[in-house]
Amino acid sequence: MRPLALSRLTATSCLGTGLAATLDALQSQRGGLAPCRFETAKLDTCVGEVPGLGDEPLPSGFAPFESRNNRLAWLGLRQDGFVEAVARSAARFGPRRIGVFLGTSTSGMLETEIAYQHRNPQSGALPAEFNYAGSHNCYSVAAFTREALGLEGPAAVISTACSSSAKVFGAAQRMMAAGIIDAAVVGGVDSLCLTTLYGFHSLQLTSRLPCRPFDAARDGISIGEAAAFALLEPVAPAESHLGIGLFGFGESSDAYHLSSPHPEGQGARAAMQRALKSAAIDPAAVDYINLHGTGTISNDIAESLAVEAVFGRDIACSSTKGATGHALGAAGALEAVICALALKHGFLPGGLNLQVLDPACRVRYLAHNCPAIVQYAVSNSFGFGGTNCSLIFGLLD
Amino acid sequence: MKPLSAYIDGIGLLGPGLANWPEGRDVLTGGRAFEPAATQIPPPTLLPPAERRRTGRVVNLALAVGLEATQQGAANVASLRAVFASSGGDGDNCHAICETLASVDRQLSPTRFHNSVHNVTAGYWSIATRDTEAASVVSAHDASFAAGLLEALAQLAAEPTDMLCIAYDVDYPSPLREKRPIPAPFGVALLLRPERTARSLSQISVSIGSGAAQAVARPDLEGLRRSIPAARSLPMLELIARGQAGNVALEYLQPLQLTVKVVPCP
């Protein structure tokens, strides 16, 4: 594929609000995970919560979209001049020529969970103020973002669990290549809710401690939340973009199990190989892999086998989920932004919470940041349902 | 934009009073009366026996229409890219999770949880068919069918090999039903090919337009179109069933609609 420019980026997670705070946390190797105090959850686990989200506003006139997920989306969109950059793009191309493709796994599920706690004791009805389309529906965050940004082009939510907001980059690239749109807002927004907290707990996949990807003693994930966005545009004169591009993407399915990865990482391997093919680069050209690295026993071993098979044992890699937690449907976009920061600022982010690297994971896993000139970085996102997506970002000339 | 084109080589259909594509085609051509009846979703025989008892209506519906379309088109299901489109996924499972979480004991079953992902259909489809190609799962509320079709055609344009597009919705149980009154399960699957074959039913060329979406010519089917996102496909299916050439405007996101030009392959 022809590279696309990431004209504007932003990310908000437990590491901080906006790019500067995110970069500062990464460069000082500071994580954002803390014991879970979320809502009424009584679980012995850590989460990566974005503080103060309950009080964050929506734009006036957007009351039907009230939900934690859309509040997080709006908080994220308002950072780093993102709204203004989209407005410039809309002025240039026209609001119908800009797509909105966002990933989420749980959308406004939290509001539905709360509504079920307040059913009418006689009729069983949900509270009158519960708005299905604005909060619960899978599409609501893309509807909100499209309207809040004043866009009128094609849009969709891609919801493929934890690969959702990686796959949106591919969907947008195809729409641009087909001439349906000229530019796209892509990203992911996923927020804490009881379903994922109790659900991952039921699968015994949540750790009591801040998650420890690739550690020999790792024992599960820490759930996080995030809003991360990118404005994808054709590569134009250098002054109009950040110097970072989307160079390739690859997708595959495990066809193996709903909630366990293929043990040898076959699907992960295919996704990485297809991404390299679409970018038309050799594995040796890649300097860094931001791993899916959830911290579950099965993911990390399967992913390391896949990485080893495609890139060999010397490829530098790490998972940043020890810092951010697993932002699920927003993880792909959040980690895409982290890759872009690594490219732009010339460093490889170390993975937090590693004490002893699992000897079965035969890759060069970075426990500490190191300076490096990064030409190409790969970001891996895999999910329930056996869905896999790898993205390749690089420096534009 | 240049219209995005494909040949439709197989159609799967399942809805209230619409048991499969041949029956649905006869209803759409007027050769058969539309008799509303509960949607009869068959068990997921494609799946290994151990997995069959884990699936809900939404998976069974998607698998049934996917199987019908791919059999009709004689597709190689083990290497078929697929796009799944649904407004809300598995409403039964979602309701059960919310009830559990609202109870004193919040213990979710692991199967409930892993079935809660919107891509549960894609996951089971890939397991059933051993298909390791990419699958995407989109939602655009009432515009989900058009969003799924556009995504499938964009994928086909990027790589001209067979594509499967499956749109499906099931009704929610109460109390979500009162907030999102989808009356019945409805699924449609299209096997899309880049080149015409002996099995091709119609060629479609899709572009983005604006204005109002078209109704179904058969007024007794218009209620389905208006109330079930996947049934927003009916005006296009009607042209294909009749072997008619023409343009049809499908509901998409305001202020847009999807203009589909249908040319039959006699």
Q: What is the pLDDT along chain B (266 residues), one digit of tens a residue?
A: 789 999 999 999 999 999 999 999 999 999 999 999 999 999 999 999 888 989 999 999 999 999 999 999 999 999 999 999 999 999 999 999 999 999 999 999 999 999 999 999 999 999 999 999 999 999 999 999 999 999 999 999 999 999 999 999 999 999 999 999 999 999 999 999 999 999 999 999 999 999 899 999 888 899 999 999 999 999 999 999 999 999 999 999 999 999 999 999 98
Inform me whether the C-beta atom of residue A251 falls under 8 Å from chain B C-beta atoms: yes
**For testing contact with chain B, the best of A195, A252, A296, A390 (most B CBs within 10 A):** A195
**For testing contact with chain B, the best of A137, A192, A196 (most B CBs within 10 A):** A137
Whether A319 and A292 have beta carbons less than 8 Å apart is answered as yes
A4 pairs with which residues across the strands? Answer: A234, A246
CB contacts < 8 A (A, B):
211
Picking from A142, A159, A257, the nearest residue to B119 by CB comes out as A159
Inform me whether the C-beta atom of residue B79 falls under 8 Å from chain A C-beta atoms: no
Inform me whether the C-beta atom of residue A156 falls under 8 Å from chain B C-beta atoms: yes
Residue written as tokens 């993880």? A331
Which pLDDT score is estimated for A397? 80
pLDDT exceeds 90 at position A230: yes
Which pLDDT score is estimated for B218? 85
Inform me whether the C-beta atom of residue A205 falls under 8 Å from chain B C-beta atoms: no
Reduce the secondary structure of B167-212 to three states and give it as a string. EEECCCCCCHHHHCCCCCCEEEEEEEECCCCCCCCEEEEEEEEECC
Inform me whether the C-beta atom of residue A165 falls under 8 Å from chain B C-beta atoms: no
pLDDT in tens, A4-13: 999 999 999 9
For residue A380, give the amino acid letter.
N
Residues contacting A338, CB < 8 A, separation 6+: A11, A22, A26, A290, A320, A349, A379
Q: Which residue has the higher pLDDT, A321 or B219?
A: A321
Picking from B116, B136, B153, the nearest residue to A167 by CB comes out as B136
Of chain B, the end-to-end C-alpha distance in Å amounts to 28
A198 neighbourhood in chain B, CB within 8 Å: 101, 106-108, 113
Q: Does A259 sit within 8 Å of B151, measured CB to CB?
A: no
d(CA A245, CA A243): 7
Please state, as a whole number, how many other Cβ atoms lie within 10 Å of the Cβ of residue B54. Answer: 16
Buried b (16+ CB within 10 A) or exposed e, A275-310: bbebbebebeebbbbbbbbbbbebbbbbbbbbbbbb
pLDDT exceeds 90 at position A296: yes
Picking from A138, A143, A258, the nearest residue to B88 by CB comes out as A138
d(CA A229, CA A189): 9
pLDDT exceeds 70 at position A238: no
Residues contacting A57, CB < 8 A, separation 6+: A71, A74
User: How near does any CA of chain B get to the CA of A298, in Å?
Assistant: 16
A176 neighbourhood in chain B, CB within 8 Å: none
Which pLDDT score is estimated for A191? 98
- If contacts are CB pairs under 8 Å, which of residues 184-203 in chain A contact chain B? 194-195, 198-203
Please tell me what DSSP assigns to residue B112.
H
A292 is a catalytic site residue: yes
Where residue A239 falls among pLDDT bands split at 50, 70, 90? low
Q: Does A137 sit within 8 Å of B139, measured CB to CB?
A: yes
Q: Considering only CA atoms, which of B74, B58, B25, B83 is closest in space to residue B240? A: B25
Inform me whether the C-beta atom of residue A218 falls under 8 Å from chain B C-beta atoms: no
* pTM confidence score: 0.98
For residue A349, give the amino acid letter.
P
Phi-psi region of B53 (alpha: psi -120 to 50; beta: other; left: phi over 0): alpha
Catalytic residue among A162, A317, A339, A361: A162
A113 neighbourhood in chain B, CB within 8 Å: 98, 101-102
Residue written as tokens 């609609």? B257
Catalytic residue among A36, A193, A292, A389: A292
A256 neighbourhood in chain B, CB within 8 Å: 127
Largest CA distance in chain A: 66
Whether A146 and A186 have beta carbons less than 8 Å apart is answered as no
Which pLDDT score is estimated for B2? 87
B175 neighbourhood in chain A, CB within 8 Å: 119, 124-126
Q: Does B94 sit within 8 Å of A199, measured CB to CB?
A: no
- Structure tokens of A107? 């959308």
B117 neighbourhood in chain A, CB within 8 Å: 105, 159-161, 383-385
Where residue A99 falls among pLDDT bands split at 50, 70, 90? very high
- If contacts are CB pairs under 8 Å, which of residues 96-125 in chain A contact chain B? 96, 105, 112-113, 115-117, 119, 124-125
Catalytic residue among A136, A241, A262, A326: A326
Which pLDDT score is estimated for B217? 86
Task: Indicate the helix (H) or strand (E) that contains B51.
Answer: helix B49-52
Q: Does A112 sit within 8 Å of B144, measured CB to CB?
A: no
User: How near does any CA of chain A get to the CA of B121, in Å?
Assistant: 8
A156 neighbourhood in chain B, CB within 8 Å: 138-140, 147, 151
Q: Does B174 sit within 8 Å of A155, measured CB to CB?
A: no
